[in-house]
Structures are given as structure tokens and as C-alpha cells.
Structure 1
């Protein structure tokens, strides 16, 4: 996906300390990369560090799902694209795709439900009007971009129930 899209983009490289005994990126570090990408989103919607401190506001993660699709190795460049699937007065539902130069398709995908929080409580709080305006503008731009479907969205984990004997 080219960078001209309205996706929020985070770039990094798989570091030696992130690699496991198989020579692959450890499962926990996929989530770390998704977390860093979410930080870029938070800054982009206007909740940078200075604003968070001044307003006593932040974003907490309520839920996260990761799909590990392909292994990646030390040194691989990675790009995480973030899109907002939905939002309401206090929450953001985001979809993340991790890509590397070696593959056209994602090596991992993630979904997160994020909550806007008044940190003086802490308690859930509605987004301020300027933040809502930025979120709306981002969602509209992503909608106009005709992005490919969020293929791994809303996947559930589980095994089939055993059949009675």
C-alpha cells in the first residue's frame, strides 16, 4: 500500500532483541509494533503528549486481537498501517496491518478497541470536539480512499465443541 493513502503509518525494523529461538519476531513484539502504530494514530488525532498532559486525557486499550500470518526475521523492515473502522463518543475501533518488503500481503493483522480516558479519575470520557473533528476527517479520508477490505476483522478464537458420545 503506498504512503499516499490516508492510513496512519508506522515504520520500524525487526531488532535483534525482538527475535526468538526460531529466528523469528517474537509474538509479543508484533503487539509492541501495533502499539507503536497506535501511538502515531493518537498523535495524528490531536492527542499528542502535550495535549494529553494539558487536558489530563489519554487512550487506554480495552481489547486487542492479533493474527499472526507469516513469520518475519531480524532486520526485516516493517510498516504498520492503521485505519479507524468505527468510533463513538469515547471509543475507537482500529484495524492494523503489518507489512514487510518481502510480501505483498500482511504478515500480521490486529484489531484494537481504544477508550478515551480522563486520567484524573481515571474514567471514560467523551472526546473533545477538536479531536472528534480530526477522527471524523480521518475516517472520511479513509472511506474515500477505497481501501481493501479489513480481511481479518472480527475473527473469533475457539475450537468446535466436542460432540456428545
Structure 2
């Protein structure tokens, strides 16, 4: 592992309670690890827990795609590299890769769309522009991410190829 130059932001070890009946990291816990990594990104851009509370701001996940590339077992050290692929005034398009000891490439990848919200609205949370200091940090992360090779697992669509004989009504 040791991907600091690529923006490794979250490290952990596969915990016993995350392992399924096959002895591997349970599919839902890949997303949990990615969620912890996005929390670490929030800390890095100035939206740690204290700032989220005092500013009445948060970030919600709008969409997430997960690619399960390799099984990993209990006790394996993992790290997640988080990249900001794009952003606008209210959203971030993220790419996350999970790496594990003993594997040369990623064991999982996730592409996510995040929305910045004002949590103090009278009618509930509403989309809101990032505060100036936060958007500045987002821009810095995006610029650093742009210097890296293109991500391997983005823009994928889920589905089966349809052949003539499988189309309904044929």
C-alpha cells in the first residue's frame, strides 16, 4: 500500500464483524469503508463534525456505484484513496479506490456523487453552495486529483447486453 502521493485518506483493518459466512468482507461493508473515507474527505475540506454542526452544513450521497474486484479477509490492512473528479458550487463527483495488503491493484472502487446541504432549513435540509473556504479546499483536491492517471472504474453502466432472442415480445 503506501499511496500517500495518490491521496490515501482512510486506513483501517477488516474487522471480524464485517466478515460474512464465506470469510470475506461482506459486500455492504465495502460501502461502509467508502463512507468512512468520504467522512475523512469532509474533514480534509473543512467540514469536520464541529464545522458541520456550527455551520449547519453536511454532505449527502446522491448516488454510489461499487465495483467489487477482489475478496479480502478479516485482519487485512486496507486504505482508501479518494479523488475529487469534478465539482460545482454544490456537488462533488468522487472516485474512491480501496487497496489491501497483499494485492497489487485495487480490491474495490466506488464512484459517488455528493451534495452539499444546509441542514438548518425550516422545511428540512436543502442543497446549498459550499462556503468559500470549503470550495477552495475542494478545488485544491480536484487539482491534485487531475494530476493523477485517469481512474479505472468510472462511468460504468449496469445491465446485461440484450440480444434479439432476449428482448421482450420477440
- With the length of structure 1 as denominator, give the TM-score of the two structures: 0.94
- For 1:3-152, what aligned pairs fall within 5 Å after superposition? 3-5=3-5, 7-121=7-121, 122-144=125-147, 147-152=148-153
Aligned pair in 2 of structure 1 residues 135, 8: CA closer, same or farther (>3 Å)?
farther
Which ranges in structure 2 are unaligned for 5 or more consecutive residues? none
Aligned pair in 2 of structure 1 residues 91, 8: CA closer, same or farther (>3 Å)?
farther
Shift of 1:8: 4.4
> Which whole-Å CA distance do the structure 2 matches of 1:148 and 1:102 have between them?
22
* Matched residue SS, 1:12: strand
1:153 corresponds to: 154
Shift of 1:16: 0.7
Runs (4+) of structure 1 exceeding 6 A deviation are none
Aligned pair in 2 of structure 1 residues 70, 106: CA closer, same or farther (>3 Å)?
same
Which ranges in structure 1 are unaligned for 5 or more consecutive residues? none
> Which whole-Å CA distance do the structure 1 matches of 2:116 and 2:107 have between them?
29
> Which whole-Å CA distance do the structure 2 matches of 1:141 and 1:68 have between them?
26
Shift of 1:137: 1.4
- With the length of structure 2 as denominator, give the TM-score of the two structures: 0.91
* Matched residue SS, 1:104: coil
